[in-house]
Structure 1
Amino acid sequence: MAALIMVDEPSVQGGRRVSVFRRGREEHLGTAFSDHDVIVFLQAAGLSDPEEVLDDPRWVEWSGGRDWKRPPMR
């Protein structure tokens, strides 16, 4: 089974698009700037313990790696 939650690689601004796959389609949940944001999005999507699945590759695929990268300084 593929992961149900996709966290895209960081954008230039540092945010990561978070999507969930359910009912045969992808739903965009929002753009996260921290683990806390991802947790809030997953709670709103109905996941009862999102903190428990963040590092579980059966649930979450982290495109570009798990670490958050800071946007370039201007």
Structure 2
Amino acid sequence: MTGARAGDGFPEIVVQRPAPGGGRRVTVGAVRLGLAHSDRDVIEFLRRAGLDDADQLVLGDSPAIQWQGGRPHEYGAG
């Protein structure tokens, strides 16, 4: 499922730009899942949202995840 894209019946997953104090807000559609400080956090948030293949999505650099502002997988203050 790593080829999944938002808009192909797949939810829009956004990892927003790093916050000034560190961490990145994660959303699925209009739902805020939490503030992630690591890939492990993103995976857990997505699992709780019902995405069983969350580890493949995050660690496989799926195009279904939009990494906004900053490099993917970096969570420090921007």
Question: Where on the TM-score scale, by shorter chain, does this alignment land: which range?
Answer: 0.7 to 0.9
- What count of residue pairs does the alignment treat as equivalent? 67
Gaps of 5+ in 1: none
Report Cα offsets for 1:20-51 as digits up to 9, x if no partner.
Answer: 01xxxx00000000000000000000000101
* Per-residue deviation, 1:13: 1.1
Change in Cα spacing, 1:18 to 1:69, as seen in structure 2 (3 Å) is closer
* Per-residue deviation, 1:69: 4.4
Q: Percent identity?
A: 40
| Corresponding residue to 1:70 among 64, 71, 76 | 76
Measure the CA separation in 2 of the matches of 1:63 and 1:56.
14
Aligned structure 1 segments of 4 or more residues deviating by more than 3 angstroms: none
Question: Which is higher, the Rg of structure 1 or of structure 2?
Answer: 1
Measure the CA separation in 2 of the matches of 1:68 and 1:13.
13
Q: How large is the RMSD of aligned CA atoms in angstroms?
A: 1.9
